[in-house]
């Protein structure tokens, strides 16, 4: 059998797999609900009671990215963890939707309108942290406080998803990539990439918990939406000038071992120059996804911040 035939059979297998893998329903960590936003369904899970707090996941993540933090926050807040458009069980808008930060922010506000939430606090990580900051800049009356875990106001142009974008641009190759992602074969590889140096420090139970979250995110993938998400940072304008008007208190969390250190350093410098209401806390041994690596410590900082207790800029040393 020649190499071409081997390759064709491989592509066929992966394509069938990608088409047969339906989006996985999330595990029940609260009450599954849907709201209409811009004519599309936005999926969210609600848990806890108290003042409303919207949790916004990162670029390719789903609401499951908050699984490890929710138990530490549900007793104080009404948590609304969302799937961004293009991920999980939220809608896949038409071709005119570019998955930009501002478009996603507008959808969150539309969801708030339907849920009759006039004002709330926001917690976002990475792309979700950008969305939360964008809401604070453009919809100041709708925001109480913002927690941004390595989000950005100044958008990174050279990003690590360039090769993903190039591969997903071609239907057969892209469907093959998605099929392999959905198969679960690369769950541990993706988990190791996300957790970086923190992976080896995790207990076996924590690793299994993270693999379950990553597996859910992967099974929710589709080629066109992940292509749109891979292009989202390029399609998003930085909103540095608009953000100078942010009046809401902001807690910015970063990690000393994050793979996005250059981006976070640039944004931290921006905050110090322009936004005195931003409190900056860095974990010396932290990675990009602090909500996964340090859920207890991150949640404690958030409770202190949202609860109106004083929180100073600081660096938390490695244990």
Nearest to 69 by CA among 123, 132, 129, 127: 123
pLDDT digits (tens, 9 = 90+) for 57-72: 998 899 999 999 999 9
In our burial notation (b when 16+ CB lie closer than 10 A, e otherwise), range 135-150 reads bbbbbeebbebbbbbb
Q: Tokens for 215?
A: 């597996």
Nearest to 124 by CA among 298, 296, 270: 298
Q: What are phi and psi of 104, to 5 degrees?
A: -65, -40
Please tell me the least confidently modeled range out of 115-124, 152-161, 226-235, 255-264.
152-161
pLDDT given for residue 32 in this prediction: 86
The count of structural domains within the chain is 1
Say if residues 224 and 178 touch (Cβ distance below 8 Å). Answer: no
Q: Tokens for 194?
A: 């996300």
Pairing of strands 250-255, 143-149: parallel
Residue 179 lies in a domain: no
Q: Tokens for 268?
A: 């931290």
Please tell me the least confidently modeled range out of 32-36, 195-199, 311-315.
311-315
Show the domain range for 246: 25-159+235-316
Q: Give mean pLDDT, residues 120-135.
A: 97
154 burial (CB, 10 Å; 0-12 / 13-18 / 19+) is middle
Q: How far is residue 41's CA from residue 111's CA, in Å, rounded to a whole number?
A: 9
Residue 5 lies in a domain: no
Residue 177 lies in a domain: no
Say what the pTM is: 0.89
Residue 82 lies in a domain: yes
In this structure, what CATH number is given to the domain that contains residue 31? 3.40.50.1820
Residue 302 lies in a domain: yes
Say if residues 131 and 153 touch (Cβ distance below 8 Å). Answer: no
**Placement of tokens 């041994």 in the chain:** 285
Residue 218 lies in a domain: no
Residue 42 lies in a domain: yes
pLDDT digits (tens, 9 = 90+) for 149-195: 999 998 766 666 677 788 888 888 888 888 888 888 889 999 999 99
C-alpha angle 82-83-87 in degrees, rounded to nearest 5: 175
pLDDT digits (tens, 9 = 90+) for 2-51: 443 344 434 444 443 444 344 444 445 678 899 988 888 999 999 999 99
3-state secondary structure the chain: CCHHHHHHHHHHHHHHHHHHCCCCCCCCCCEEEEEEECCEEEEEEEECCCCEEEEECCCCCCHHHHCCCHHHHCCCCEEEEECCCCCCCCCCCCCCCCCCHHHHHHHHHHHHHHHCCCCEEEEEECHHHHHHHHHHHHCHHHEEEEEEECCCCCCCCCCCCHHHHHHHCCHHHHHHHHHHHHHCCCHHHHHHHHHHHHHHHCCHHHHHHHHHHHHHHHHCCCHHHHHHHHCHHHHCCCCHHHHCCCCCCEEEEEECCCCCHHHHHHHHHHHHHHCCCEEEEEECCCCCCHHHHCHHHHHHHHHHHHCCCCCCCEEECCC
Nearest to 219 by CA among 183, 265, 266: 183
Q: How far is residue 69's CA from residue 178's CA, in Å, rounded to a whole number?
A: 28
Residue 83 lies in a domain: yes
């Amino acid at each position: 059998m020649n190499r071409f035939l081997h390759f064709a059979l491989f592509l066929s297998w992966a394509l069938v797999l990608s088409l047969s893998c339906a989006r996985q329903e999330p595990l029940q960590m609260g009450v599954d609900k849907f709201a209409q936003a811009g004519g599309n369904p936005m999926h969210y899970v609600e848990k806890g009671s108290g003042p409303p707090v919207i949790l916004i996941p990162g670029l390719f993540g789903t609401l499951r990215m908050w699984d490890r933090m929710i138990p530490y926050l549900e007793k104080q807040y009404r948590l609304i963890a969302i799937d961004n458009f293009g991920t999980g069980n939220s809608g896949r808008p038409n071709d005119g939707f570019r998955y930009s930060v501002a478009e996603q922010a507008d959808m969150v506000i539309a969801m708030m309108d339907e849920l009759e939430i006039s004002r709330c606090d926001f917690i976002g990580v990475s792309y979700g942290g950008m969305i939360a900051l964008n809401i604070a800049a453009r919809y100041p009356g709708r925001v109480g406080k913002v927690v941004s875990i390595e989000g950005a106001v100044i958008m990174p142009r050279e990003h690590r998803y360039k090769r993903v974008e190039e591969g997903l641009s071609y239907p057969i190759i892209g469907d093959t990539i998605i099929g392999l992602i959905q198969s679960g074969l690369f769950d541990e590889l993706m988990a190791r990439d996300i957790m970086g140096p923190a992976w080896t420090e995790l207990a076996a139970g924590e690793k299994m918990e993270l693999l379950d979250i990553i597996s859910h995110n992967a099974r929710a993938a589709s080629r066109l939406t992940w292509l749109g998400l891979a292009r989202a940072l390029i399609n998003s304008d930085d909103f540095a000038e608009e953000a100078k008007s942010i009046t809401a208190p902001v807690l910015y969390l970063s990690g000393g071992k994050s793979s996005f250190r250059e981006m976070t350093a640039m944004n931290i410098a921006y905050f110090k120059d322009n936004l005195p209401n931003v409190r900056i806390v860095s974990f010396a041994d932290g990675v990009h996804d602090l909500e996964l690596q340090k859920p207890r410590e991150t949640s404690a900082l958030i409770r202190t911040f949202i609860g109106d207790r004083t929180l100073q800029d600081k660096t938390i040393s490695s244990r």
